[in-house]
Amino acid sequence: MNPVTDDPSNDFFFEAYDRENIAYGMQPSPELAAYLKQTASAESSRSARPQAIDLGAGAGRDTLALAAAGYDVTSVDVSERGLDRIRERAERANLSDRVKTLVCDVRELSMDADCYSAVIATTVLDHIPGTDAPAVWKKMCAALTSQGMLYTQVHTTEDPGSDQSPGKESDQPVSETAGAVINYFRPNQLVGWACEADSRLRVLRYEERLEWDTTHGAPHQHGKAVLLAVRQDFHPDWFGQPAAFPRSETS
């Protein structure tokens, strides 16, 4: 019995994931999708399936993209309803054998060092207190293999739901789920973590931006920081996003 999730009223995202039109839709995070597409042939040539972990996986839009790209994925979330929907979606896509779900708070999760080729955390480091986020970040970095990729998104103080400037002065509409975001990242904070020597990362892409979200509730704006990085000595085929001089589909 999990006291956090067995009572739907304790699951902040229950209603968002219970809907027929599931919150956040099925499109994976765009930078992650671009990375998976560009590195697909290298991943498929590995003898064993690469392992991925999706922290705060929600209803699984990134999990499903990773599984379709050939990863074995562990999807971690405190929302049992979100994980139900992931299993449903995986079944429908014939990817059940590649997806494992785990109800767990990311702060309690233990991950072995050097074990995941992909570590994903799409808007979860901002759902935990700022005092806890650095420890989760450290675990994420340690868990990455020497040929690993790390993808993270967080809400920033530009978000109209933020109680800090400049977001708090914004007159743009706020997300229906903004109440779950308790740790808005400051400008350059996430990339600062990625550039620390202990993180042992090489940044492929970092962006702070405003974006419109029409995937749930009324259309609203977000302030986001988006980071795509790899282990420091790893040099995959990454041509950017949008890809510079993309190869044709046939080459």
Ligand X SMILES: C[S@@+](CC[C@H](N)C(=O)[O-])C[C@H]1O[C@@H](n2cnc3c(N)ncnc32)[C@H](O)[C@@H]1O
Binding site for ligand X (CB under 6 A): 13, 24, 56-58, 61-62, 76-79, 82, 105-107, 122-124, 127-128
Nearest distance from residue 224's CB to ligand X, in Å?
11
Angle at 207 between CA 38 and CA 85, to 5 degrees: 65
N residues, the chain? 251
Nearest distance from residue 221's CB to ligand X, in Å?
15
Nearest distance from residue 120's CB to ligand X, in Å?
8
Q: Is the CB of 78 or the CB of 150 nearer to ligand X?
A: 78
Contact predicate 59/17, CB 8 Å: yes
Q: Is the CB of 64 or the CB of 229 nearer to ligand X?
A: 64
Helices (H) and strands (E) in the chain, counts: 7, 7
Q: Please report, as a single letter, which amino acid is at residue 29.
A: S
Nearest distance from residue 248's CB to ligand X, in Å?
31
Q: Is the CB of 109 or the CB of 195 nearer to ligand X?
A: 109
Nearest distance from residue 129's CB to ligand X, in Å?
9
- Strand arrangement, sheet containing 201-213: 99-103, 72-77, 51-55, 116-122, 144-155, 220-231, 201-213
Q: Quote the crossing angle between the two packed helices 61-68 and 30-38, to the nearest 10°.
A: 10
- HSE-CB at 23 with a 13 A cutoff on CA atoms is 20
The total of other beta-carbon atoms located within 10 Å of residue 111's CB is: 19
Nearest distance from residue 122's CB to ligand X, in Å?
4
Q: Is the CB of 50 or the CB of 60 nearer to ligand X?
A: 60
Helices (H), the chain: 14-18, 30-38, 40-44, 61-68, 80-92, 133-143, 189-195
Q: Is the CB of 51 or the CB of 234 nearer to ligand X?
A: 51
Nearest distance from residue 106's CB to ligand X, in Å?
4
- The three-class DSSP label of residue 232 is coil
Q: Is the CB of 28 or the CB of 234 nearer to ligand X?
A: 28
Spatial separation of the C-alpha atoms in residues 208 and 155, rounded to whole Å: 9
Q: Is the CB of 85 or the CB of 234 nearer to ligand X?
A: 85
